[in-house]
């Protein structure tokens, strides 16, 4: 095994050209042997233009484990542009607001740490999309989810196929498939704060191939009010090119080759600097003068080449080669030398704290290096590339059904960090552009090679479905600190077994239960005493499902028993530069909860095709530490047995309802978020509970041409939604927009 690992590591650390060629040959070899397999008949429709399928409602009804699906119809009935708004209606999914627009979502599932969504698995079309999911899992990139056409949320043992993070679960967005008939579509909107979106796509296909071109831009001038004046908004763009060619769909042996190219950019005048409590009460949208230079810029390119093979209804093979390149530079205020910004903003407005507050606000001039604002340039480059393949064997006869999935992922990712601190003077209420002092505080590299084979078997007979599975993660890391001239390497295997089950009491009502071992990897360069996060996770509940009637009711209890809850320091958590990206062992913890999901569409007899949709989601989560430990992460600090896990609302719920007809849609989504502890020690330091309401009204004006109006946060809730990284932070204010959308097929 060590010889195989050696050659894989050496190969993956070769130049990108070598890597791409090597994986191309591996990709070809993975299915070339099947070209001469037994012929069969494809069950594809119209050229099999759908590259990645959303789990069906029928599959969801009988699956072992908790799986939530949100299809394109539901997404269009809300018109959300950011990921946090989309997932807020899924039980046990927790978000922590940071910028208001959801540019850098903080998402956790079933009590996992929500910081930068680093403890959950994030995918688009089943492929990891994070900048470096193993080496630097903080998700600074998220797609503009308004261009996606479906969302799957896997929790519990249902998520062990994906990895690497399997304790909370996985989110998988589905991109737009290449259409079979010539199709064009668009979606334009505009509103206050000059917030708007322009989305266009077009494609065509036939029995032998097809192509789709898609572009989307999303921007705003921002709702924050900078003391020095100026724009506090953002611009995001994404372009996607997809294409496919395939063999004869009528043949038993069917091939399809897909390509997906993407290019994305963002420029945002965002900051980690929040407000003091008094200033938040006066104006929650204020931004201090010290954040005048703050700006994030990134660009990302991606290529994915995939192959799909069907041999009759019994066999299917899906293989994908992928490479994602991501480069980001975030220039922002990072405090003062030797000072804790959270303590300055939350402490008494006397003495030194008052002086530093006044300098941050631009009301006092700095007089020395010790009281001059530090601006940090965080320059990071990421590579994420790999090959994954999954073979599915199906067998059915009478009441017996068996589906075996065998797969593996060979993955490499890396991060190259250069962080430079520049000390600037604050004079006359403005930061001076010329730096007084410049120093490099971080210069390091980290890389990971991960080999992850897995097996999952679904066996059904006479109403009983059993789904045992196992995933093995072989993770090898390397790190280099250029400032300390040190190198480090480590290899850590981890076995992730699990089993899920579903028993049908009646055709509609069933019992679900499961247990699995959860895992989260250790990133490169960590102390040898740091071990992977691990937990034994249990779930049991009831599911009532009638897919033909759009009815689903689910009640599931879960318990995550952590043997080791690991944590990582980040700027987003308020950590100092010298501690950023360091992981620590958090010891034992226990997270338990209940999640409820109920959805149904009620017919309205007096309206042609009219329905009243109702979707209710609720979760109760309680998390506590079961051991003592010390951490340099300010969110945790010195932890004692019984302390609460931070940033987990005890109660969280959402309700979506409205009226849907043939030619109109009215949708109201209301979300309640309970108070969340922001540290483990001080119960008085909590976020405020709040209710968030969003309204959408759509009217068809001709064929598939629609006009709509939407309002987000129409109740104008303005709680303290978080105090991380530095100071109190608000929700997005009332944003009102009008838009027009359409989709037209030409036959």
What's the confidence (pLDDT) of residue 574? 63
| 90 closest CA partner among 621, 598, 500, 695 | 598
- Spatial separation of the C-alpha atoms in residues 294 and 287, rounded to whole Å: 11
Judged on CB neighbours under 10 Å (0-12, 13-18, 19+), 594 is middle
- Given a cut of 70, whether residue 319 has pLDDT beyond it is yes
Q: Is the pLDDT of residue 4 over 70?
A: no
518 has which bridge partners? Answer: 535
What whole-number percentage of the chain has pLDDT above 90? 76
Give pLDDT, residue 3: 37
Structural domain that includes position 486: 2-44+55-745
Is residue 32 situated within a structural domain? yes
Whether residue 187 is contained in a domain is answered as: yes
Residues 6+ apart with CB under 8 A from 333: 271, 272, 273, 290, 291, 293, 294, 360, 373, 374, 375, 376
Cβ–Cβ < 8 Å for 446, 136: yes
CATH for 244: 2.40.170.20
Are 647 and 114 in contact, with CB atoms under 8 Å apart?
yes
What digits encode the pLDDT tens for the residues 175-201? 999 999 999 999 999 999 999 999 999
CA distance 217 to 236: 6
Q: Which residues contact 221 (CB under 8 A, 6 or more apart)?
A: 193, 194, 195, 231, 232, 233
- Give the per-residue pLDDT at 383: 98
Domain membership of residue 50 (yes or no) is no
pLDDT at 340 over 90: no
- Residues 472, 474: Cα–Cα separation, whole Å: 7
- Three-state secondary structure string covering 182-200: CEEEEEEEEEHHHCEEEEE
**What helix, strand, coil percent values describe the chain, rounded to 5?**
15, 55, 35
Q: Is 667 within the bounds of a domain?
A: yes
Q: d(Cα 490, Cα 493) in Å, to the nearest integer?
A: 10
C-beta of residue 418 within 8 angstroms of C-beta of residue 443: yes
pTM above 0.75, yes or no: yes
Out of 28-42, 127-141, 310-324, 393-407, pick the least confident.
Answer: 28-42
pLDDT reported for residue 572: 65
Question: Alpha-carbon distance 465 to 470, whole Å?
Answer: 17
414: nearest Cα among 384, 444, 386: 384
DSSP-H helix ranges across 229-371: 277-282, 341-346, 351-360
Using 50, 70 and 90 to split pLDDT, how confident is the model at 682? Answer: low
49 in any annotated domain? no
Cα 560 to the chain's mean position, in Å?
Answer: 21
Average pLDDT, the chain: 89
Q: Say what the pLDDT of residue 134 is.
A: 97
| d(C-alpha 203, C-alpha 210), whole Å | 7
544, 506 in Cβ contact below 8 A?
no
pLDDT at 452: 97
- What is the mean pLDDT of the segment spanning 320-328? 98
Per-residue model confidence (pLDDT) at position 637: 77
Is position 40 within any domain?
Answer: yes
Per-residue pLDDT band for 52 (boundaries 50, 70, 90) equals low
124-138, 316-330, 546-560, 678-692: the lowest-pLDDT one: 678-692
The whole-angstrom separation of Cα 404 and Cα 36 is 22
Please give the tally of structural domains in the chain: 1
Residue 316 has pLDDT above 80, yes or no: yes
Residue 576's pLDDT band (cuts 50, 70, 90): low
Distance CA 68, CA 155 (A): 9
Q: What is the pLDDT of residues 158-177, one digit of tens each?
A: 888 998 999 999 999 999 99
Are 185 and 742 in contact by the 8 Å Cβ rule? The answer is yes
pLDDT level of residue 318 (50, 70, 90 thresholds): very high
Peptide linkage before 725 cis (omega within 30 of 0): yes
pLDDT value, residue 31? 35
Compute the average pLDDT of residues 255-274: 97
Give the percent of the chain with pLDDT over 70: 90
Question: What pLDDT is stored for residue 431 in this prediction?
Answer: 96
Digit-coded pLDDT (tens) for 401-435:
999 999 999 999 999 999 999 999 999 999 999 99
Provide the pLDDT confidence category of residue 575 given band limits of 50, 70 and 90. Answer: low
- Return the structure tokens found at 347: 């402490």
| pLDDT per residue as tens digits for the range 641-673 | 998 999 999 999 999 999 999 999 999 999 999
Higher pLDDT, 31 or 371: 371
In this structure, the number of other CB atoms found within 10 A of the CB of residue 192 comes to 13
Q: Is residue 652 part of a domain?
A: yes
Tell me the pLDDT tens digit for each residue of 580-627.
Answer: 778 888 889 999 999 999 999 999 877 777 899 999 999 999 999 999
Q: Which secondary-structure segment (H or E) carries 16?
A: helix 16-32
Say if residues 629 and 587 touch (Cβ distance below 8 Å): yes
Cα(523)–Cα(477) distance, integer angstroms: 7
How far apart (Å, rounded) are the C-alpha atoms in residues 318 and 44? Answer: 14
Instruction: Return the structure tokens found at 713.
Output: 């946060």
Predicted confidence at residue 436, as pLDDT, reads: 93
């Amino acid at each position: 095994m060590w010889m195989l690992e050696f050659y894989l590591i050496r190969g993956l650390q070769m130049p990108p050209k070598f890597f791409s060629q090597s994986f191309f040959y591996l990709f070809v070899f993975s299915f070339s042997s099947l070209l001469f397999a037994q012929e069969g008949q494809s069950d594809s429709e119209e050229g099999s233009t759908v590259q990645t399928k959303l789990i069906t409602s029928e599959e969801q009804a009988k699956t072992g484990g908790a799986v939530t699906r949100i299809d394109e119809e539901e997404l269009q009935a809300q018109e959300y542009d950011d990921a946090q708004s989309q997932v807020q209606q899924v039980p046990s999914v927790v978000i922590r607001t940071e910028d208001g627009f959801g540019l850098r979502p903080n998402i956790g599932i079933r009590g996992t740490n929500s910081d930068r969504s680093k403890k959950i698995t994030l995918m688009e079309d089943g492929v990891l999309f994070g900048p470096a999911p193993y080496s630097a899992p903080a998700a600074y990139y998220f797609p503009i989810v308004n261009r996606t056409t479906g969302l799957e949320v896997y929790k519990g043992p249902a998520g062990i196929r994906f990895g690497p993070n399997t304790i909370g679960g996985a989110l998988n967005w589905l991109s737009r498939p290449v259409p079979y008939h010539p199709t064009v579509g668009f979606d334009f909107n505009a509103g206050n704060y000059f917030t708007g979106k322009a989305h266009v796509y077009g494609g065509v296909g036939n029995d032998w191939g097809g192509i789709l071109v898609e572009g989307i831009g999303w921007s705003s001038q921002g709702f924050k009010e900078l003391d020095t004046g100026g724009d506090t908004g953002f611009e995001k763009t994404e372009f996607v090119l997809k294409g496919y060619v395939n063999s004869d769909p009528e043949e038993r042996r069917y091939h399809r080759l897909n390509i997906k190219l993407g290019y994305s950019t963002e420029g945002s005048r965002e900051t980690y600097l929040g407000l003091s409590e008094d200033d938040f009460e006066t104006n929650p949208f204020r931004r201090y003068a010290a954040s005048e230079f703050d700006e994030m810029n990134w660009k990302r390119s991606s290529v994915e080449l995939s192959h799909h093979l069907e041999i009759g209804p019994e066999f299917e093979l899906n293989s994908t080669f992928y490479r994602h390149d991501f480069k980001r530079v975030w220039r922002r205020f990072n405090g003062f030398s030797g000072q804790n910004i959270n303590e300055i903003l939350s402490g008494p407005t006397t003495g030194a704290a008052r002086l530093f507050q006044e300098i941050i606000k631009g009301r006092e001039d700095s007089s020395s290096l010790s009281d001059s604002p530090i601006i940090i340039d965080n320059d990071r480059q990421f590579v994420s590339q790999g090959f994954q393949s999954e073979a599915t064997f199906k067998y059915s006869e009478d009441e017996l059904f068996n589906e075996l999935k065998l797969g593996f992922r060979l993955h490499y990712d890396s991060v190259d960090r250069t962080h430079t601190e520049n000390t600037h003077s604050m004079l006359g209420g403005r930061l001076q552009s010329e730096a007084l002092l410049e120093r490099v505080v971080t210069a390091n590299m980290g890389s990971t090679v991960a080999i992850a084979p897995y097996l999952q078997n679904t066996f059904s007979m006479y109403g009983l479905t059993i789904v045992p599975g196992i995933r093995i993660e072989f993770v090898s890391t390397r790190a280099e600190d250029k400032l300390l001239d040190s190198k480090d390497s480590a290899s850590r295997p981890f076995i992730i077994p699990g089993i899920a089950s579903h028993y049908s009491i009646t055709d509609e009502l069933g019992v679900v239960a499961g247990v699995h071992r959860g895992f989260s990897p250790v990133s490169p360069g960590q102390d040898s005493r740091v071990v992977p996060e691990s937990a034994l996770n249990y779930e049991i509940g009831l599911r009532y499902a009638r897919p033909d009637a759009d009815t689903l009711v689910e009640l599931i209890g879960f318990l995550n028993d952590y043997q080791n809850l690991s944590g990582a320091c980040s700027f987003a958590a308020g950590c100092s530069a010298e501690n950023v990206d360091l992981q620590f062992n958090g010891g034992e913890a226990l997270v338990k909860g209940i999640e409820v999901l109920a959805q149904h569409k009620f017919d309205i007899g007096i309206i042609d095709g009219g329905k009243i949709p109702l979707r209710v989601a609720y979760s109760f989560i309680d998390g506590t530490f079961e051991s003592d430990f010390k951490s340099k992460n300010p969110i945790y600090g010195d932890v004692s047995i019984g302390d609460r896990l931070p940033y987990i609302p005890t109660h969280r719920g959402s309700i979506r309802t409205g009226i849907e007809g043939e030619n109109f849609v009215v949708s109201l989504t209301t979300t309640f978020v309970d108070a969340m502890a922001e540290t483990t020690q001080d119960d008085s330091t909590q976020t405020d509970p709040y209710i968030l309401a969003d309204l959408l009204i759509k009217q068809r004006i001709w064929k598939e041409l629609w006009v709509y109006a939407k309002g987000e946060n129409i109740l104008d809730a303005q709680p303290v939604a978080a105090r991380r990284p530095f100071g109190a932070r608000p929700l997005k204010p009332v944003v009102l927009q009008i838009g027009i959308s359409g989709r037209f097929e030409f036959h």
